[in-house]
Amino acid sequence: MLRYATDWLGVYREEVNALNVYPVPDGDTGTNMHLTMQSVRRELETADTSSMAGVARAISYGALLGARGNSGVILSQLLKGFAEVIKDKQEVDAPTLIHAFDAAQKSGYGAVMKPVEGTILTVARGIAEGAKGDSVDMVLENALFKGQELLDQTPEMLPALKQAGVIDSGGQGYLYIVQGMLAELRGDELPEAPEITQYAAQSFENEEFGFCTEFLMSESTRSIEDIRELVSPFGDSLLVVGAEGYVKGHIHTNEPDELLATVGRYGKMLKTKVEDMSEQHTEILGMAGATARAEEELPLSGLVAVANGYGLVKLFRSLGARIVSGGQTANPSVQDIVDAVRSVSAERVIVLPNNKNVLMAAEKAMELMEGRAVVIPTRTLGQGMGAALAFHEGTPADELKELMTEASQAVTTFEVTRASRTTNITTKKGETLAIAEGDVIGLQDDELVQAGGTPEDSVMKMLESAYAGQEIITIFGGPQKTQADLDALAERLGQQFDGAEVEAHAGGPDLYDYLVTLE
């Protein structure tokens, strides 16, 4: 039922996105909830589904790790509460389902410091209140009826919704998930996706805090309550939740660098995401306007780039790219890339995979798009940046492919990260590196070339070997690097390579200390 509910929500994802207005465009609610459900489905594929405990753990664990955005994090807590009830059962009968929906809404409300009515929480409460009956299908039918009743009332609870003339997007998404569960039980086929002609987010301005910031951390040395207290002064729309030894956080702030550096002292930062909500707003407006744009007005070329790290995402967006979130250890699916291409209003679309592990998915997406997409085989984010700088929407895609491929090859990329296991590696130059788990390692154009020392030493050694009078060195610091770290490294590079212009930015990719380009 949950697997099918994922597909059911997928049908209505853009409809839910179009409703999103609260409190400002904060990612895409439908997309975030769908990605969260997809993560649950991935865990279910590998779980021991002969055991209810295995199913429950996959639901809770998958939802937390895949939670995206405010709505996705709250959804993960609804699913966590649901899973807690079923984990010790042999089967889910009507009384168990009633109890599970009630536990879900309590878990959701408990995760939010200042619960607001007129949101997904209200609909979760309605689902729980309506969940009555002697059979599973009757419980679901009654739950949906009451959930819809409260969803219809959400515009009276939130002025922002009433102003836009829409119901709450997160609540609608949750209702579609429960609808999908019932549809699977009845054997209903998936419906056609509705046509979207208007996006409610056009009506709203930016809020006080401009960056939607998320993190996923393991091995935390502080409790969830301590982490929540630690980050609460940084902004609002705060959610800090946890399960299975992980801590997931979401907050709107004007100080994403300082927040992530502060949290990073108390655990191992696995994933971060920082989105400039004003730029998201602009992107949503562009999507809304695409439906009304005449075909002859379409630009010749559009751009899609796979990236993570908010500094890099911001750069790609500034160069005209639609972003697919992903990269090392978080490869997007073929469908993610296809969806992004379809959302771009242009005759043909250039795709930058920016990672060797994403290249195959990008090429498969190109096949599915039947000639509408063109892939530039960028294997690193540095190559992607070089290619994106050569992009121009008024140039045909076939001409751009040659220009952008050439531009990508003019950039050398250096990445500094940590070894995930102990091993011996022989480099292309014949040098054998003895690497221990956790050691600093350096990669040049995706090939391991250096190990040991500090991250800053790794950057220096690789650049000293590769520098040949190039003009620009650009540094992106990872989530655990402070602005002081960046400034110190930039000064050190400026002294060593005085013929080059050195630029330093926060917001590098997850799991990396530094990403550096030489051009």
Specify the higher pLDDT residue, 140 or 14: 140
Sequence-separated (6 or more) residues with CB below 8 Å from residue 495: none
From the list 376, 364, 377, the residue with the least C-alpha distance to 335 is 364
User: 133 in helix, strand or coil?
Assistant: coil
Q: Please say if the pLDDT value at position 11 is more than 50.
A: yes
* Most confident segment among 162-171, 219-228, 391-400: 391-400
pLDDT tens figures, 398-441: 999 999 999 999 999 999 998 877 888 888 888 888 888 889 99
State the pLDDT at residue 446: 85
Task: State how far the Cα of 28 lies from the Cα of 280, in Å rounded to an integer.
Answer: 9
CA geometry: angle at 496 spanning 491 and 498, to 5°? Answer: 85
Query: For the segment 85-108, what is each residue's pLDDT rounded down to a tens digit?
Result: 999 999 999 999 999 999 999 999
Token pair recorded at residue 295: 């075909």
Phi, then psi, of 395 in degrees rounded to 5: -105, 135
Determine the pLDDT at residue 364.
81
Q: Are strands 472-477 and 501-505 parallel, antiparallel or unpaired?
A: parallel
pLDDT computed for residue 495 by the predictor: 92
Mean pLDDT of 38-50: 89
Higher pLDDT, 498 or 144: 144
Pick 114 or 137 by higher pLDDT: 137
With contact defined as beta carbons under 8 Å apart, do 218 and 271 qualify?
Answer: no
**Residue 163's pLDDT is what?**
76
- Selected residue with higher pLDDT from 303 and 237: 303
Distance of CA 436 to the CA centre of its chain: 31
375 by DSSP, 3-state: which?
strand
Give the mean model confidence (pLDDT) for residues 7-36.
77
Instruction: Output the pLDDT for position 166.
Output: 87
**Which amino acid, one-letter code, is at 55?**
V
**pLDDT over 50 at 202, yes or no:** no
Residue 383 pLDDT class (50, 70, 90 cuts): very high
Confidence check: pLDDT of 201 > 90:
no
Strands 412-418 and 246-253, bridge-based pairing: unpaired
How many beta carbons lie within 10 A of that of residue 294, not counting itself? 6
Which whole number is the average pLDDT over 443-454? 90
Residues 111/241, Cβ–Cβ less than 8 Å: yes
Asked if residue 460 lies in contact with residue 466, where contact means CB atoms within 8 angstroms, the answer is no
pLDDT at 205: 45
For residues 156-183, average pLDDT: 91
Nearest to 323 by CA among 311, 337, 333, 342: 337
435: β partners: 423
Strand partners, 246: 218, 243
Q: If pLDDT is split at 50, 70 and 90, which confidence band does 26 have?
A: very low
Q: Quick one: pLDDT at residue 280?
A: 53
Query: CA distances (Å), 61 to each of 28, 195, 273, 353, in order?
Result: 22, 34, 19, 28
Q: What CA–CA distance (Å, rounded) separates 479 from 270?
A: 9
Query: Do the Cβ atoms of 349 and 303 come closer than 8 Å?
Result: yes
Structure tokens at 301: 């070329």
Geometric angle at alpha carbon 368, from 367 and 371, rounded to 5° = 60
Q: Region 190-206: what's the mean pLDDT?
A: 66
472 has which bridge partners?
A: 501
Q: Is 403 exposed, middle or buried (0-12, 13-18, 19+ CB in 10 A)?
A: middle
**Residue 256: is the preceding peptide bond cis (ω within 30°)?**
no
Least-confidence region, from 53-67, 266-280, 358-372: 266-280
If one compares 401 and 272, the residue with the highest pLDDT of the two is 401
Per-residue confidence band for 27, with pLDDT thresholds at 50, 70 and 90: very low
Question: At 294, is the pLDDT very low, low, confident or very high (cuts 50, 70, 90)?
Answer: very low
Total Cβ atoms within 10 A of residue 498: 8
- At 124 the pLDDT is 97
How high is the pLDDT of residue 433? 86
DSSP assignment of 395-460: S-HHHHHHHHHHHHHT-EEEEEEE-SS-EEEE-TTS-EEEE-TT-EEEEETTEEEEESS-HHHHHH
